Amino acid sequence: RKEVEQDPGPFNVPEGATVAFNCTYSNSASQSFFWYRQDCRKEPKLLMSVYSSGNEDGRFTAQLNRASQYISLLIRDSKLSDSATYLCVVKRSSASKIIFGSGTRLSIRP
């Protein structure tokens, strides 16, 4: 079993829809959580950190559930430009324990 698991998708949703992804992690010692976005054949870029209390950045909302060991990303009013792969990242205390999920592909159709 992978330490960080994501549904690979693809999620294919119409513009304007709300879409949500989950990411589960297996190690309870995980301390920091992030969502990165990766466009096709490009480098990953930080979308948002995930805080214990949950956090919002415009149309994006991230949640952390430590009891069930998952994080989620909600995208409201999706835009064509949201089409990308979303990577879940989980980190323990040392830099050597940074684990990337394999990503969830999202495709927004007009």
Partner 1 sequence: NAGVTQTPKFQVLKTGQSMTLQCAQDMNHNSMYWYRQDPGMGLRLIYYSASEGTTDKGEVPNGYNVSRLNKREFSLRLESAAPSQTSVYFCASSESPGGGSPQETQYFGPGTRLLVL
Establish if 28 lies at the interface with partner 1 (CB under 8 A).
Answer: no
Q: Least separation, in Å, of the C-beta of 15 and partner 1? A: 28
d(CA 97, CA 44): 18
Grouping H, G, I as helix, E, B as strand and the rest as coil, residue 44 is: strand
Q: Least separation, in Å, of the C-beta of 18 and partner 1? A: 25
Longest dimension (CA), the chain: 43
Establish if 101 lies at the interface with partner 1 (CB under 8 A).
Answer: yes
Q: Least separation, in Å, of the C-beta of 16 and partner 1? A: 30
d(CA 79, CA 44): 19
Establish if 18 lies at the interface with partner 1 (CB under 8 A).
Answer: no
- Evaluate whether 102 touches 9 at the Cβ level (below 8 Å): no
Grouping H, G, I as helix, E, B as strand and the rest as coil, residue 80 is: helix
Q: Applying CB under 8 A, which of residues 39, 56, 98, 109 lies at the interface with partner 1?
A: 98
Binding footprint of partner 1 on the chain (CB under 8 A): 4, 8, 31-32, 34, 42-46, 49, 87, 91, 93-96, 98-103
